[in-house]
Structure formats: C-alpha cells, structure tokens
C-alpha cells in the first residue's frame, strides 16, 4: 500500500483528544506512514522519538498590539508551510475549534487541494457548539472538512442535530494502546498509598472539571463506606479539586479518600482497583473507561453521551442516571460485594477492549478513510 504523509493537528498538552490523536499517529507511523505533528509542543503521550514521526512547532510571539496572541492564525500559517515543504498527502485534525478552521484557512492560503479529516471528540460540539460565539465556527470547520468523524454514535447524532452539517459524519470509536494498558503487578504501590489488604478500591480518573460531576461520586462514596471497608482514589488535577476536598471533609470521609494528583502510573493504579466510577453529565466517549477495562476494572458510569456505547449494563459494569448518588452507591456495591459478579465483569471488561475497541480494528478504519480520501481526491466519500 502507498505510504502516506499525514499532518496531525491536536492539543498536545492535555485531554483525551490529544491522547487518541497521538496513539493513532504512533500506530500509523508503525505501519510505515510518515507523520508530521503540527502542534505548539510535543504531544505529551509521545515520549520517545520514533521512526517516521516528525514535529513542527507552532510559535507565536506576543506583540504589544495583541491582547490575545492569534494562535489559530499562526497554526494555519504553519500548517500551510508544512504541507508545502513536506508535500503532505492529507491533514488529520483532532477537535473542531480552532484546529479544523486553521486547517481550512491553511489550505486556502496556499491554494492547495489537500484533504482534511476532522475528528470530533466531544466538547468541541457538546459545549462549544452550543455557544453562540462559536457555533457557526464549529459548523464552518466541519462543513469545510472533506471527512468528519465522531468518537461515538451519540456524538455523531448530537452533531447532526445541533450543527446540521452538509455532509454525513462517520463514527469511529476510540481505542487505547494495549501495550501500555494491561494488568500489571503494582509492587508496593497499594501499600505505599496507605490502602489496607482487606480494603476495596474505587478509582476515578479525570481532569476534575464540573462536567465530570465528582460531587455525586463523593456523596455515593459516603454511603458506600457505611457498608464496606473501602478507599477512593481520585486521580488527576483540575479546577474542581478545592470544592471536592471541602465536600470530602464535610461528609466525614477524609481518611478514606486519596487525592493522588496527576500520575504517570495509571496502569499500575488501575491494576489494583476494583471498580471505576465515571459520573459525568457529558461524555462523548470516556476514554478512561477503556483504560480501566484494559486493566480488568469494571465501571459504573452515567447514561451520558457515548458512555452507554462503552459500558454494557450488567456485562462490563453498570449504567446509572446522571446526578443520582444513591444509584451510584447501589451499583458500585453490587459489583464490590459479589465476587462472582466482579469476576464476570472483569473478564467482560478485558474482552470489550480485545473485541469492539481493539486498536488494530480502529486504526484500520482510519487508514481506510485516509486511502479513500486519496482516491476520491477529497469530496465526501459517502455522498
Ligand atoms: O473532557 C475531557 O476529559 C477532555 C476531552 C478532550 O477533548 O480531550 O475529552 C473528550 O475527548 C475524549 C477523547 O475522544 C473522550 O473520551 C471524552 O469523552 C471527551 N470528553 C467529553 O465529551 C466531556
């Protein structure tokens, strides 16, 4: 098969969209394609230099006249340069704003016919698409892309209803790197964190923003500690942390909650955890669920966005209504207190990653799109 030169634009420093973009780029490079990251810094999951991967930094100086440095325009300028210098075959843009718009501007600037694939990750539509200050920009970025994908059917449907794009959108699910996420012997980590041998472990990993509804989990946890011996691991950082700490203290569960901050050893932390809870009110996919599944951790998640496409109720976890701490407590206890249920869900969680979300399957879907775009010389391949 022809070796493609692919420009990848993503948020390099945080978030699931940057993780997916980077893991996909790494897999494509391993297949022999040439990857050109066009980003403000090296993507945080790109830890070691790898064959076929190049990095083109986007720089913008702060001139006195700028109240806000125009990153979007500097990005467009850089994309245009790289397309021309490297003779790229296509651009894969992750997150509609501003990346899709910058790619479209770059294409116009250099009068190129390069194909653009935009992958929607969630908040670029579910939050920014509702913002009157950005809605038309989101639509423009999508309409001017040759192909748009969404990370779940839920996000696809919401985008079609809200944005009314002129072309169809295809769902391509997220995946994780199975070589990184798998059950790992955690050494003394569990004891180091002060977790006793007979204690169960509930884990939550996120960027601690209000959309994750972590207070619902804390309220549920206060009910769970009345029934069993258990610790709650809160992994990550974000704006909600001070509020959550206050609630933890107020509900008298301080001794049982461990705030770990941001960690690099997620597979180890997950490998001794018994259940993950994701109580979000919006979640296009919930990549962290797959990371947990791959380490054998079933999950309790809300009926929000794409979560029901990842958690199959009663199979690899449980689904609960948004904003219902009692239900979170009940379903979490159901998993923690029934060894057979836990074992069955653990095995099914591992199977979910090996089956529906296997990386080679997902990467092949993107690769097919890349070739389709090449063949058709752009216009929407489904119309
Ligand atoms: O919300 C986040 O945690 C960050 C955000 C992002 O843009 O990185 O995540 C979105 O993209 C992830 C990767 O596709 C999805 O797994 C998350 O569900 C999605 N977040 C939301 O929809 C809130």
In a domain, 58, yes or no: yes
DSSP secondary structure code for residue 37 in this structure: E
pLDDT value of position 67: 87
Q: Does one domain contain both 216 and 285? A: yes
What burial letters (b/e) apply to 321-357, b meaning 16+ CB within 10 Å? ebebbebbbbbbbbbbeeeeebebbbebbbebbeeeb
In order, the DSSP letters of 306-331 are THHHH--BTTTEEEE-TT-HHHHHHH
- State which residues of the chain have pLDDT below 70: 376-383
Q: Does one domain contain both 17 and 123? A: yes
Mutational pocket test of ligand 1: of 11, 16, 262, the residue with most ligand atoms within 8 Å of the beta carbon: 16
Q: Where are the beta strands (DSSP E) in 40-121?
A: 53-57, 90-94, 115-120
In a domain, 25, yes or no: yes
Q: Does one domain contain both 199 and 171? A: no
Query: pTM of the entire structure?
Result: 0.94
Judge whether 291 and 268 are in contact, CB under 8 Å.
no
pLDDT value of position 182: 98
User: How many angstroms is it from 19 CA to the middle of ligand 1?
Assistant: 10
Q: Does one domain contain both 167 and 244? A: no
Indicate if ligand 1 lies below 6 Å from the C-beta of 16: yes
Strand 299-302, strand 90-94: pairing: unpaired
Angle at 163 between CA 162 and CA 164, to 5 degrees: 100
Q: Does one domain contain both 97 and 142? A: yes
Indicate if ligand 1 lies below 6 Å from the C-beta of 106: no
Indicate if ligand 1 lies below 6 Å from the C-beta of 151: yes
In a domain, 69, yes or no: yes
Reduce the secondary structure of 197-252 to three states and give it as a string: CCCEEEEEECCCCHHHCHHHHHHHHHHHCCCCCEEEEEECCCCCHHHHHHHHHHCC
Chain CA centroid to CA 272, Å: 22
pLDDT value of position 257: 98
Q: Does one domain contain both 167 and 21? A: yes
**CATH code where residue 121 lies:** 3.40.50.2000
In a domain, 180, yes or no: no
User: How many angstroms is it from 121 CA to the middle of ligand 1?
Assistant: 6
Distance separating alpha carbons of residues 135 and 132, to the nearest angstrom: 5
Chain CA centroid to CA 204, Å: 15
Q: Which residues pair with 370 in a beta bridge?
A: none
Q: Does one domain contain both 250 and 197? A: yes
**Residues in Cβ contact with 364 at an 8 Å cutoff, skipping those fewer than 6 apart:** none
Q: Does one domain contain both 168 and 196? A: no
Indicate if ligand 1 lies below 6 Å from the C-beta of 173: no
Distance separating alpha carbons of residues 191 and 323, to the nearest angstrom: 33
In a domain, 183, yes or no: no
Strand 317-320, strand 299-302: pairing: parallel
In a domain, 383, yes or no: no
In a domain, 382, yes or no: no
Q: Does one domain contain both 103 and 164? A: yes
Provide the residue range defining the domain that includes 63. 5-175+358-375
In a domain, 319, yes or no: yes
Q: Which helix (H) or strand (E) holds 123?
A: helix 123-126
Indicate if ligand 1 lies below 6 Å from the C-beta of 94: no
Indicate if ligand 1 lies below 6 Å from the C-beta of 212: no
pLDDT value of position 377: 58
Per-residue pLDDT of 23-66, as tens digits, reads 999 999 999 999 999 999 998 878 788 999 999 999 998 888 88
Q: Does one domain contain both 43 and 21? A: yes
Distance separating alpha carbons of residues 180 and 264, to the nearest angstrom: 11
Q: How many domains does the chain have?
A: 2
Q: Does one domain contain both 210 and 149? A: no
Q: Does one domain contain both 218 and 267? A: yes
DSSP secondary structure code for residue 284 in this structure: S
pLDDT value of position 325: 98
């Amino acid at each position: 098969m022809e070796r493609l030169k692919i420009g990848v634009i993503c948020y390099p420093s945080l978030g699931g969209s940057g993780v997916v973009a980077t893991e996909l780029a790494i897999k494509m490079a391993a297949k022999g394609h040439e990857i050109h990251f066009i980003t403000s810094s090296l993507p945080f999951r790109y830890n070691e230099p790898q064959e076929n991967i190049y990095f083109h930094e986007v720089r913008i100086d702060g001139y006195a006249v700028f109240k806000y440095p125009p990153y979007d325009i500097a990005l467009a300028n850089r994309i245009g340069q790289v397309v021309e210098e490297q003779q790229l075959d296509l651009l894969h843009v992750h997150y509609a704003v501003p990346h899709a718009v910058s790619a479209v501007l770059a294409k116009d600037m250099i009068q190129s016919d390069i194909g653009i694939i935009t992958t929607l990750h969630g908040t670029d539509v579910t939050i920014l698409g509702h913002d009157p200050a950005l809605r038309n920009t989101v639509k423009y970025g999508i309409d001017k892309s040759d192909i748009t994908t969404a990370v779940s059917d839920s996000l696809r449907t919401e985008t079609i209803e809200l944005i009314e794009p002129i072309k169809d959108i295809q769902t391509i699910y997220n995946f994780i790197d199975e070589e990184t996420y798998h059950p790992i012997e955690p050494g003394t980590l569990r004891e180091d964190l002060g977790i006793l041998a007979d204690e169960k472990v509930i884990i939550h990993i996120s960027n601690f923003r209000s959309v994750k509804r972590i207070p619902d989990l804390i309220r549920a946890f206060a009910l769970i500690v009345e029934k069993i011996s258990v610790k709650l691991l809160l992994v990550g950082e974000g704006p909600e942390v001070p509020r959550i700490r206050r609630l933890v203290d107020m509900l008298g569960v301080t001794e049982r909650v461990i705030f770990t901050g941001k960690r690099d050893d997620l597979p180890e932390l997950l490998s001794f955890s018994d259940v993950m809870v994701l109580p979000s009110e919006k979640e296009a996919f919930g990549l962290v669920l797959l990371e947990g599944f791959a380490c054998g951790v079933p999950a309790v998640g809300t009926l929000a966005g794409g979560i029901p496409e990842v958690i199959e109720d009663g199979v690899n976890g449980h689904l609960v209504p948004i904003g219902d701490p009692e239900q979170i407590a009940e379903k979490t206890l159901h998993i923690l207190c029934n060894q057979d249920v836990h074992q069955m869900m653990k095995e099914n969680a591992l199977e979910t990653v090996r089956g529906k979300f296997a990386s080679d399957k997902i990467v092949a879907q993107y690769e097919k799109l890349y070739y389709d775009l090449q063949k058709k010389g752009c216009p929407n391949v489904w119309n």
